[in-house]
Structures are given as C-alpha cells and as structure tokens.
Structure 1
Amino acid sequence: MDKRIYLLTTLTFIVGLVELIIGGILPFIAADLDISLGQAGLLISAFSLSFAIAGPVLLSLTAKMERKKLIMIVLVLFLFSNGIAVVSNSLLVLLISRILSASGAALLVSLCLTIASQISLEAYRSRAIGTVLMGVSASLVLGVPLGLFLGNEWGWRAPFVFIVAVTFILMVLIQFTLNSIKPKPYVPLSTQLRALRKPTILLVHSVSILFFIGHLTLYAFLTPFLQSTLHVSGNALSFLYLLFGIAAICGSWFGGYASDRFGNRQTMVVALAFFAFVLFIVPLVSTNGLLLIPLLMLWNFLSWTITPAIQGHLVASAPKTSDIQQSINNSATHVGMAIGSVVGGLTIDVYTVDFNAPVGGFFAVIGLIVAIIAVKIK
C-alpha cells in the first residue's frame, strides 16, 4: 500500500481530535464563560452541521486546485480557526471558531479519502480508505481523555493550543513529504449531483444516515448507559472508552480488508446485520459486565467496519464523481449523527437509557433493508 496513505491517516486523526476533544471540556468551557452546559453543547451541534454543509460545497468549489496546495491552504484555515478558540472569551467567538474549523475539517477528510482512493491500486482501494478512516477511529481513543487531561491541568484552552501545534507540525511534514497531486478531470457540480439519480447511490447515502442514527442513539449516551447498568465512573469509565476506541481502530482496518477481500457489498450487508443484532442483544446482558463489555467492543468494531465498505461501494459505483460522492457521504454521516443524538435524547426522556440500544437497532434494521435493496440494483 502507498506510504502516503499513512500521512493522510495522520491528517484525519487530527481532524477527528478537533471534533471529539471538546466533549471532555464542555463543563470547563461552560464554567469559564458563565453559560449553561446546554449552551456549551451548541459547540458540538455547530461543528456537525457546518461539517455536513461545507464538505460537498467546498470540494466542488476547489475541484480544479492541485491537491497538495489545497491541503496546505485548508491546514492554514484549520490552524487559524483553532487559534481563535485559544483567545476566545465568549460563546459567539468560540462558535465562529468551531464553524470555521468544521468547514476545514470537512474538506480535509474528503480530500484525504479521495486522494487515498486515487493513489491506491484498485485491489487495495477499500483497504486504503479503511486505513485513512483509522485516523478518525484512533481519535476516539484519545479525543475525550486527552481533552479531559489537558483541560484539568491547564484549562480548556490547552487542547486547542495542542491542536494548533500539531497542525503546524503536519504542515511542515506535508510540505516536505507529499508530492504534487493533480485533481481529477473537472466535472461540473450539476453533472456530479446527477449521479444521485442512480438509485444505488442514493440508497447507499441513506444507509449511512440510518446506520449513524442507530449508532448515535446509544453512543451519544453511552456514558449514562454505563453508569446506569455497570455503575462505573472515573478511571474505569476512561478505561472502557479506551477499549472501545481500540476496537474501533481494528474495525476500521478490518472493514477495508474485508471489502477488498470479499467485496464492498457483501461486507456492508453482513456488518450491518451483525451491528443491528448486537444492539438488540445489549439490553439482555446490560447488568453483566463480563458479557456487556465484550459485546460493546464488538459493537464499536462493527460500527467502523461498515463505513469503508460504503465508501468503497460509492467509488466503484460512480468513479467519475467519486470525490463529491465521498464528500456527500461524509455529510450524510453527520446528518445521521445529529439525528441520532436527538433520537437518543428523546428516548431517554420518554423511557430510560436502557431503551436506547434497541431503538438504535430499529434504525439499523431499516438501514440493513435499504442496503440489501441497494446492492441488488445493478
């Protein structure tokens, strides 16, 4: 596999870190800026919404630019936006920082995925995509714990100082290690969007939305679920998140490997089927830690197995418009994440957190049905 893939993986890692690191420092931000925790939560919503909107739009507007130059420009924006967070003293300024940061992140992830598929041999394409996505899954291991550690030691601005420093180092590495990469032949946005008329393309994007609704219905509220069922907190909770993050990294790698070995369609359907099944089993073993923890590790493993298969299927189904399709799919995942968080919150309000897993499983089953229909369409 092309060694440049690992540099792209590092880029997606820092992007994932920016998105996730704030989850551990929201209480510090709320206390320092004298706002409610709910208001501080807008920083997460603003990031997800901006990410979903900015990706396809910015990718289309920059379609003719040489890719290395574009990555460097985006990293400058990334560095600048997180620098704003370091000096911000109000929620409004911090929101502006998150919106700018999300816009850069959306374009950067899309670029990394499209470049990975572009520079890889066809036999390794899904594996390359899975490896790049490992950067995001790896940030799951470090995001919240690192944010908590830096926030506790030096205040909530410290994580953003760390991100600015790492971004600068990456800019230097890319400048001296990444060669010039030409963009694909320009295809007008109207032509690219016409690919959405293909039923299989539209259905696969729908699968991403439904799958992430199912996933976030539980994952967004995993901490209260674990506190309610296993009565864990503090270091024990951090350790469990470490285990889940490691499982996610392994799942991302395996998703790429399985897609290359067995096919994108087969991997997508089989992984979704097991993913839905696990969510329905979770409530049955929720009070038994010896069963629940391995099951939740499997759930996290499967959640990151599915995306490389979906991305690989999109590249194979619409090779001429794969750039915009991968970007639209990234947006679809963030739409699903936003909806899933709302569904999970409503489930807790109406019932209890114990119902989040089967409710998520319901959406996963719908996603599975849509996936089966999608792969049968030629």
Structure 2
Amino acid sequence: MRNTWLIFFLAIISFLSGTDEYIVTGILDKIAETNGVSIASAGQLFTVFSISFGLLTPIVIVLTRKMDRKNLLMIALLIFSLSNFIVATFEGFVVIFIARIASGVSAGLIEVTLLTIATTIAEPEKRGSAIATIITGFSAALIVGVPMGRFLASVMDWRFIFVALSVLGTLFLILIYKLIPGMQGEEEKPLKEQLKILKNKKIAYILIVTFFWMFSYSIVLSYISPYLLQVVKVSSNTVSIALLIYGLSSLVGSKLGGFSTDKYGAIKTIFLGMSINAFGLISFSFVGESSLIFLIPLIIWGIAAWSSGPALQFRLIYLAPSVAGIILSLYTSISQIGMAFGAGIGGLIVNFGSLDLLNWVGASSVILIIFSLLIVNQKQKVESQNK
C-alpha cells in the first residue's frame, strides 16, 4: 500500500514537470508583452524546452547511468527549481531563454528517473500500471496546468507561476530525500547501441509518424492562445475556459485511443485518429469571429490528436517487446523534437505569415501521414499476395 502512495506521489512530480513544459503555451501573449518581444519569439521558449528535453536528456541519462537514481532525481529537481526561479526573477529574454534550456533538461531527467523509480518500487505484476500512472501525471499538466496557469496569469503577474513551480520543486526535493530509498543506477546500453533499433524499418516508420504527428500538434498548440485572441477574437477569460475544455477533450481522446487500439488494432486507430485530426484542424478556418462555435473544432482536434498516442506506443512495443524501455525513450525524444520543430516553424509562420495559417500547416502534416499510411498499407497487401 505504501508503495502505491509513493507512485502517486511520483506522478504529482511528473505533473509538475509537465506543467513547466506546457504552461508557456497558455500565457504566451503575456510573456511577450512583459519582455517586449514578439509572440513568435516568446514561442521559442517552448521550442527550446522541447529541444533540450528531446535531444539532451538521452545523452545525460547515458552519462549518469551509474548514479543513484534518488540522487539523480534530487539533482534534477534542484536544477528545475533554480531554472524556474531565474525565469521568475531575472530580467532579459536571453536569460529566460537559457533558463528554459536548463528546465527542459531537468524535466527530461525527472521523467525518465521517475519511471525508473516507479518500476523499481512497484510490485512486479503492477509495473505496467506504475508506468501508466507516471505518464498520466505528465499528461494531466495539459488538462489542468495550462488552463490554471492562464487563469492565474489573468489575476496576477505571470512570473508568480514560475515562483510557485520553483517552490514546489524544492518541496518535492525535500520529500524525495525523506521518502524514497536509495537506488543504485544500472548499466545501460550506450546511445549508439540503442539507436540500432532504428534499422528496423517498421519501427523507424512509426517514429517518423510520431515526429510529424507531434509537429502538427505543436505548431497549433504553441500559439493557441494568441490564435484564439487574435483570429477567433474571444476574450482572455474565454481562452482559459477553452484551454480547460481542450484539456478534457485530450483526456477523452487518450482513453478512446487506448480502447480503439485494443478493439480494432493500432494501425486502424492511427488512421482514423489522423483523419479526424485533419478535419478538426481544417474546421478552424470556417469558424466566425467571437463565436463559441470554435469550441467544436477545438474539441474534435483535442480528442483526435491525443487518440493516436496510445496506438503509436502500443505499435512500437509490439514491434520490439524485448527493448520496450529503450523504444519508449526514443518515442519520448522524437515526440519532444517534433514539438520543438512545430513550435519553431509556427514562430516563422507567425513572423512572416499569419496566425490563421497555423491550422492549415498542421493539417497538411497530418494529411501527409494519412497518405503514407495508405501507401504502406497497400504495399503490405501486395507483399502478402506475392507470398
């Protein structure tokens, strides 16, 4: 029973690190205004977080593979707290930008270490459930953390949000010291060995799909607040409500994606989810200004976009069950890199184009996935007939 509560405690820490990543998307306009930069420039705070999370975390994990997991988690939480304190208190966009790099690395270390600790302290028959609990904590940040951050930023200075993240990070560091036993790190395969998995064409393909899926998702999500404010022209309070509704839709989509994967299979679930995803994104362009009708495509997009996650992960584990941990770490890295590229390209579109182009670029990425799925499926049918 004690270990069950410890795993829930670890999930709360996972929620905190997830909030640190996603919170920027809900208050982008306020950060830009305070620092005297464009919305596109402020959006790069999300981009750099995702890049450091996706690219640097696997490297740091390999370098620290022999370190006690408890000590590694405490160090990661210390970096997390310091970097968020810098974001909250230091002037200058460059300093905040650098602090977000540190935040991204610390969040990546926190997530990987939490998963390691959770599977270690959980009973053997409950390790899968322990992993799901930690991942749910991170995902819940989008559902609760982002709209809550938007609401708080509407009644107080947005910097107080990062002060709170810093304080909570320090509190959890102390609790980890008190509650979690020491856990010696294990020998892990070098990154070069891990990447040999990519020689499997089916695995490489699913990871490519993951990249373009998260690219599409991030290119819209990163600028969703200014999009709703400037294109749909709703009030700031309505944006807060819309983000909460979107978060709840994402949760429903994740659950439906898992159910559909079990019932109809991963490939069919991915194809259906991507098709509805594209429809939802395109539908944004047919919403009038200051109209609550925009909630319809928002909900459709939220449900469809998140339905693909369980199916993609299931497919990867199915293709490489003996190295599930490695393959899921690669999935996480590719997801973050896709999000980083999406936020980056979104910034260029906002700078040199227009906010109302974001959904079309996002939809184009998803449509590319749909066509690739049709081509791969047809190729597999031909190969099976030739056999």
Query: Which residue, 151, 167, 186 being the options, matches 2:169?
Result: 167
Q: Is 1:210–2:224 an aligned residue pair?
A: no
Partner of 2:160: 158
Of 159-168 and 170-179, deviating more is 170-179
Deviations 1:329-366, CA, capped at 9 Å, x for gaps:
22322322233234445656777555543432221122
Partner of 2:252: 250
Partner of 1:273, secondary structure, is: helix
Contact 2:150-2:240 within 8 A present in 1 as well: no
Deviations 1:65-116, CA, capped at 9 Å, x for gaps:
4434432232122122223334423333323321111111122223445666
Partner of 1:89, secondary structure, is: coil
State the Cα distance separating 1:262 from its structure 2 match.
5.3
Query: Which residue, 279, 282, 289 being the options, matches 2:281?
Result: 279
Contact 1:133-1:308 within 8 A present in 2 as well: no
Alignment gaps of 5+ in structure 2: none
Partner of 2:234, secondary structure, is: coil
State the Cα distance separating 1:210 from its structure 2 match.
0.7
Change (3 A) 1:93 1:332: same
Change (3 A) 1:342 1:73: closer
Give the total of aligned pairs. Answer: 377
Partner of 2:100: 98
Query: Which residue, 74, 77, 92 being the options, matches 2:76?
Result: 74
Partner of 2:240: 238
Q: Is 1:301–2:317 an aligned residue pair?
A: no
Using the size of structure 1 for normalisation, the TM-score is: 0.81
Partner of 2:317, secondary structure, is: helix
5 Å matches for 1:112-123? Answer: 112-113=114-115
Change (3 A) 1:149 1:241: closer
Alignment gaps of 5+ in structure 1: none
RMSD of aligned residue pairs (Cα, Å): 3.8
5 Å matches for 1:123-202? Answer: 125=128, 131-151=133-153, 153-178=155-180, 186-202=188-204
Of 37-46 and 358-367, deviating more is 37-46
Change (3 A) 1:345 1:60: same
Give me the whole-angstrom Cα distance separating, in 2, the residues matched to 1:291 and 1:31. Answer: 28
State the Cα distance separating 1:298 from its structure 2 match.
2.5
Contact 1:268-1:306 within 8 A present in 2 as well: yes
State the Cα distance separating 1:62 from its structure 2 match.
2.5
Contact 1:52-1:335 within 8 A present in 2 as well: yes
State the Cα distance separating 1:51 from its structure 2 match.
1.8
State the Cα distance separating 1:123 from its structure 2 match.
9.4
Calculate percent identity across the aligned residue pairs.
31
Partner of 1:332: 334
Give me the whole-angstrom Cα distance separating, in 2, the residues matched to 1:231 and 1:260. Answer: 40
Give me the whole-angstrom Cα distance separating, in 2, the residues matched to 1:257 and 1:238. Answer: 29
Using the size of structure 2 for normalisation, the TM-score is: 0.79
Of 364-373 and 284-293, deviating more is 284-293
Partner of 1:186, secondary structure, is: coil
Contact 1:15-1:105 within 8 A present in 2 as well: yes
Contact 1:187-1:321 within 8 A present in 2 as well: no
Partner of 2:222: 220
Partner of 2:98, secondary structure, is: helix
Give me the whole-angstrom Cα distance separating, in 2, the residues matched to 1:201 and 1:154. Answer: 46
Q: Is 1:59–2:81 an aligned residue pair?
A: no
Partner of 1:64, secondary structure, is: coil
Q: Is 1:46–2:48 an aligned residue pair?
A: yes
Give me the whole-angstrom Cα distance separating, in 2, the residues matched to 1:87 and 1:188. Answer: 38
Change (3 A) 1:117 1:370: farther
Give me the whole-angstrom Cα distance separating, in 1, the residues matched to 2:155 and 2:74. Answer: 31
Deviations 1:260-298, CA, capped at 9 Å, x for gaps:
565544443432333234334444566795654233213
Give me the whole-angstrom Cα distance separating, in 1, the residues matched to 2:269 and 2:126. Answer: 15
Partner of 1:275, secondary structure, is: helix
Partner of 1:312: 314
Deviations 1:157-198, CA, capped at 9 Å, x for gaps:
311220122223333444455556665652232221111111
Give me the whole-angstrom Cα distance separating, in 2, the residues matched to 1:288 and 1:93. Answer: 37
